[in-house]
Amino acid sequence: MSDYEKIAILLSTFSISISFLVLGWNIYRDVILKPRLKVRLQLSFIKHGEYQSPTRIAITATNFGPNKVICTGIGAKIAPLWKRVLRKVKYVVIIEDYNDPYSSKLPCELDVGRECKLFLSFDKDCFLSEPFTHVYIFDTFGRIHYAPKKDVAKARKEYKRRFSENQSQLN
């Protein structure tokens, strides 16, 4: 084997290893490295001077990067373990209040480090009247970003406390 053949084999091996490295990086960047949203659900109100709004359901989504993401909708589902096993999960798309001046509007484009706050009405007919176990925001890539279950449980508990007292006073 001549020196020219050894150099050609070394260059070919080096170029193949570089191409595998680039392929691996592209797969990691496009498939694995996706934007992460942290979603929270809480009951809150807006206070400005003497004005205090009625209690509202606030769903907050914060983009933790590495890319920007577009939030397109809010959803909820009833999915206890036995319903997941029997494949009887109930999904609902929640429509936001477009008339609320303090609420972000969907679709909402979030750069890294930005957040959107979506306010929903908190009344007897809100989505908390159903026994939903998960609340989430979905994006343009079809990914679902869930709020912690403890946030949903805490909001449902407050809903039951507030509106079951009103029911007992009416009867």
Q: Which amino acid is at 7?
A: I
Residue pLDDT, tens place only, 114-144: 999 999 989 898 888 888 889 999 988 888 9
The Cα 38–Cα 60 span in angstroms is 8
Q: Which CATH architecture has domain 34-170?
A: Sandwich (2.60)
The Cα 138–Cα 147 span in angstroms is 11
Contact indicator for 74, 118 with CB cutoff of 8 Å: yes
pLDDT at 171: 40
Q: Where are the domains of the chain?
A: 1-33, 34-170
**pTM for this model (two decimals):** 0.73
Closest CA to 163 of 137, 139, 129: 129
